[in-house]
Amino acid sequence: MADPDLQLVKAMANGDVHALDALYARHGRSILSYLIGLLNDRPLAEEVLQDVMLAAWRGAGQFRAESQVRTWLLAIARLQALNALRKRKFAPIPLDEDIPGDDTGQFKKIEFRAEQESIHNALRQLPSDQKETLELIFYHELSGVEAAEILGVAPGTIKSRLNRAKTTLRRLLQRKEIDHES
């Protein structure tokens, strides 16, 4: 299947700023979400997103189309985030998650928040490689091969990380249920 973003990267390589704007419009929100997950700091993630797009602009001429453009952008994002983490020391700021907007009543909202918090706590307890693998596969809907390319590991490593992450999450969430029943 042809990558619809490939033409944008080729246009960027020829100096077309509008192509960069179009690529940003298509992928900026997804990349920002990925960066927030890695950095746990929205303002820093927004700064890094700008660095990602600048790096994509500068590297467009060297893009060999061996992967999807989206995969290439997420790989750039990961490298830029790791560089930002090396340069800065900061306290993580928890994300402010939205409660569903339907009229389910106060009890349902509290119950939803508690479930959401349990899941976020369990995810935070995962080793970073497992958490990042889960996020790439389930949230960003990448294939195992694409996630492996971004993380610089073999596809088999992605499978084993994913399996370990699911097992660990299941165990953590079951333990949380037992703690609440006690």
Tens-place pLDDT, residues 64-109: 988 899 999 999 999 999 888 887 754 444 444 454 555 556 666 6
pLDDT of residue 122: 79
- Tally the C-alpha atoms within 13 A of residue 136's C-alpha that lie toward its C-beta: 31
**Spatial contact of 33 and 135, defined as CB atoms under 8 Å apart:** no
The correct CATH number of 105-181 out of 3.20.170.30, 1.10.10.10, 3.40.640.10, 3.40.30.10 is 1.10.10.10
Note the pTM of the prediction, 2 decimals: 0.61
For the chain, residues classed under CATH 1.10.10.10 are 105-181
Q: What is the pLDDT of residue 169?
A: 84
- State the pLDDT at residue 4: 87
Write down the pLDDT at residue 105: 60
Do 90 and 48 contact (CB within 8 A), yes or no? no
- In the predicted model, residues of the chain with pLDDT beneath 50 are 90-97, 99
Does domain 6-87 fall into CATH 3.40.50.410?
no
